[in-house]
Structure formats: C-alpha cells, structure tokens
Amino acid sequence: MIKSLKPPIKVFGNIHGDYIDLMRFLDIWGCPSESGDISGYDYLFLGNYVDKGCQSLEVICLLMALKLKYPKQIFMLRGNHEDRNVNKYLGLGQECTRRLGEDINDPNSIFQKLNDMFEYMPLAAIINDKGTNNKVFCVHAGIGSTLQKVEDIDKI
C-alpha cells in the first residue's frame, strides 16, 4: 500500500482523462524514454487518471504502457477516481459504453478489468533521500481523519 521511492523523481497529479495535458506535461518536463531522462529520473503519478476529460482510455493506456516498458521507473498511485463506484458515473463508465460499445456491468468488460487493476495500485509513496534523510509523503488527496500514522495505510 505504500511505495518507497528515491529521488530524483518527477511527480504528476490529476490528469483526469485529459490526454493533451498529459502530453503537454511530458513535453515540458521530459518524456520517459531512452533518448530522454528515464535513466536519471523516476516518474510518480498521484492518481485520478480517469474521469472528467474525454480521453480516459488514452491516458490510462499510455500510463500502463509506460509502466510495462519501465517497471522500475514508473510508479502510479491510486486516486479517488480509480474506484469503480466513482468512475462508473463520472466519466470512465460512460466513455467505455460510448467508445467501446460495452456493457460496463459485464465482469469481462474493459471497464471492470481497469477497475480490477486499480485495486492493486498503492495508495501512498514515500520519497526518501538517504543522503539528507529528508522524506516526502505522497498521496492523491490526503489520508483522511481516521488514519493516525503512515503505517495505518498498510492496514487498508
């Protein structure tokens, strides 16, 4: 549930199905590639990949492809929109129905399979600079009032 990472790392959040913005981020801050900076930097995405925008499928497919190509440099946390009860009504469900022509209630639908994958994503990351002993705690939008310590996240 908590991913331990080390700097240098680039952190991105709240893409919300906006593929053009994702491409703009990667253009401005550097795209993970052999000809880019993947050997020097890791990439952390803080969640909310889907919903609101009209290209959730492109966003999540690109991020999954990057994760498959660079499994030790690309990290993805789960945001509140990576929940089937949220994204069913706020964009991803409608996009899968409209663009893929699928019944999102079918257990074998792309919609359900994406949400199954989301359930495996960690909820938090700690970037730990061992040289300075500085730590940065990363989550999508906070830990809520019921958690008292970082270790409580592992119990979820």
Q: Are strands 134-139 and 74-76 parallel, antiparallel or unpaired?
A: unpaired
Is cis: bond before 8, omega within 30 of 0? yes
The amino acid at 25:
F
| 81 in catalytic set | yes
Nearest to 58 by CA among 11, 5, 99: 99
Q: Of the residues 78, 81, 88, 140, which is catalytic?
A: 81
Distances (CA, A) of 38 to 33, 54, 67, 153: 5, 28, 12, 29
- Could you tell me if residue 20 is left (phi over 0), alpha (psi between -120 and 50 degrees) or otherwise beta? alpha
Cβ atoms within 10 Å, residue 151: 10
User: Please, how many CA atoms are within 13 Å of residue 105, restricted to the half-sphere of its CB?
Assistant: 0
Tell me the catalytic residues. Answer: 81
